[in-house]
């Protein structure tokens, strides 16, 4: 899953793709590099980020999704928690709603996903973006994230979303310390055991900077390592800004696992 942030303030690429043409070009580049899914977002969720009004978020993402849908080169996902934005994105050609609040901020979003037969990604977050990194605490982070995802999956199914249309994400960096992130990656198999496809997004995140001493643009090796570890533990969707290097790493790992490889 390649990330396209149509925002002025995203933590790693804020401002680079605020213009619809630049964002669309980035989407085409990521698809050409091998992204199967493109995740288009119009509101940053970085720690301390300020909320964006629905109209503005919609104006940011819809032209980009419409242009990429016309290409037909990748499945399209909208990274939003708002019903109005998701509806417009689905109308424009998105097929997946990636909600970092797992339908908590807009419970009606579940009904929309159900009515449209869309897929959704439900992510764990403790707190909300503005304050989530102020002293997050858990007794057992993996058990709590797992119980949360199980409950949100049950909620979505109760609202009419087909279970096989739901992906789950432990929410690396969302209300978590470096130790919480490492434990989630180390014990990711427990989340995979829920039986739904698991999405993991470590791309360029600050815990990689803490581990390596690298700035946000220098965290590709850390992103590759953590994405591979997640893949080995059973994650099937890796949400990254740098598709080409992660794709190569995953191809090698998949070939070692299966013994099968293409004619490249
Ligand atoms: N991470 C971010 C945003 N959305 N969605 C899912 N499912 N999983 C993630 O780990 C995840 C996500 C944060 O990364 P980014 O979009 O690059 O930053 P920002 O929120 O600042 O735009």
Neighbours of 211 (CB within 10 A): 15
Instruction: Report which secondary-structure segment, H or E, holds 243.
Output: helix 243-258
Under 8 Å between Cβ of 81 and 28? no
Higher pLDDT, 51 or 234: 234
Under 8 Å between Cβ of 219 and 246? no
Instruction: Determine whether the shortest distance from the Cβ of 199 to ligand 1 is under 6 A.
Output: yes
Tell me the C-alpha distance between 182 and 163, whole Å.
28
Q: What is the whole-number distance in angstroms between the Cα of residue 102 and the centre of ligand 1?
A: 13
Contacts of 194 (CB under 8 A, 6+ apart): 146, 149, 150, 153, 168
Q: Is 84 helix (H, G, I), strand (E, B) or coil?
A: helix
Under 8 Å between Cβ of 161 and 188? no
The reported pLDDT for the residue numbered 129 is 84
pLDDT band at 12 (very low <50, low <70, confident <90, very high): confident
Instruction: Determine whether the shortest distance from the Cβ of 7 to ligand 1 is under 6 A.
Output: yes
Q: What is the whole-number distance in angstroms between the Cα of residue 264 and the centre of ligand 1?
A: 32
Tell me the C-alpha distance between 247 and 253, whole Å.
10
The residue nearest atom 18 of ligand 1, judged by CA position, is: 10
What are the strands, taking DSSP E only, across 115-218? Answer: 119-123, 166-169, 199-200
Kindly list the structural domains of the chain, giving each domain's residue range(s) and its CATH number in brackets, ordered by start. 2-258 (3.20.20.20)
Active site residue 239: yes
Active site residue 205: yes
Helices 178-186 and 220-232 pack at an angle, to 10 degrees, of 40
Instruction: Determine whether the shortest distance from the Cβ of 202 to ligand 1 is under 6 A.
Output: no
pLDDT band at 128 (very low <50, low <70, confident <90, very high): confident
Tell me the C-alpha distance between 172 and 21, whole Å.
30
Q: What is the whole-number distance in angstroms between the Cα of residue 155 and the centre of ligand 1?
A: 22
How far is C-alpha 206 from the geometric centre of its chain's CA atoms?
Answer: 16
Instruction: Report the residue among 6, 100, 102 best suited for mutation to probe ligand 1: largest number of ligand atoms under 8 A from its CB.
Output: 100
Find residue 168's DSSP bridge partners.
Answer: 122, 198
Angstrom CA distances, 153 to 12, 109, 140, 156, stand at 30, 13, 20, 5
Neighbours of 51 (CB within 10 A): 14
Six-digit token string for 263:
């004619």
pLDDT digits (tens, 9 = 90+) for 188-240: 999 999 999 999 999 999 999 999 999 999 999 999 999 999 999 999 999 99
Sheet with 75-79, side-by-side order of all strands: 2-5, 37-41, 75-79, 96-99, 119-123, 166-169
Instruction: Report which secondary-structure segment, H or E, holds 4.
Output: strand 2-5
Residues 123, 28, 51, 227, Cα dihedral to 10°: 30
Instruction: Determine whether the shortest distance from the Cβ of 153 to ligand 1 is under 6 A.
Output: no
Look at residue 90 and tell me whether its pLDDT is greater than 70.
Answer: yes
pLDDT digits (tens, 9 = 90+) for 142-177: 999 999 999 999 999 999 999 999 999 999 999 999
């Amino acid at each position: 899953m390649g990330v396209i942030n149509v925002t002025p303030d995203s933590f790693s690429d804020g401002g680079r793709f605020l213009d619809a043409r630049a964002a669309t070009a980035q989407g085409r580049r990521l698809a050409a590099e091998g992204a199967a899914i493109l995740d288009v977002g119009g509101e940053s969720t970085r720690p301390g980020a300020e909320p964006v009004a629905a109209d503005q978020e919609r104006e940011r993402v819809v032209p980009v999704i419409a242009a990429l849908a016309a290409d037909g080169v990748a499945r399209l996902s909208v990274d939003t928690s708002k019903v109005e934005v998701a509806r417009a994105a689905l109308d424009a050609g998105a097929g997946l709603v990636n909600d970092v609040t797992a339908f908590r901020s807009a419970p009606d979003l579940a009904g929309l996903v159900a009515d449209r037969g869309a897929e959704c990604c439900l992510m764990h977050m403790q707190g909300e973006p503005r304050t989530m990194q102020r002293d997050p605490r858990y007794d057992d982070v993996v058990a709590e994230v797992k119980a949360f995802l199980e409950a949100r999956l049950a909620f979505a199914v109760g609202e009419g979303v087909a279970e096989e249309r739901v992906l789950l994400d432990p929410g690396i960096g969302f209300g978590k310390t470096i130790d919480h992130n490492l434990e989630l990656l180390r014990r990711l198999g427990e989340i995979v055991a829920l039986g739904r496809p698991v999405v993991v997004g470590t791309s360029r995140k600050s815990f990689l900077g803490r581990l390596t001493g690298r700035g946000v643009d220098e965290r590709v090796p850390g992103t590759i390592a953590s994405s591979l570890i997640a893949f080995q533990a059973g994650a099937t969707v890796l949400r990254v800004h740098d598709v080409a290097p992660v794709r190569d790493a995953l191809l090698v790992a998949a070939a070692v696992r299966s013994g099968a490889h293409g004619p490249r």
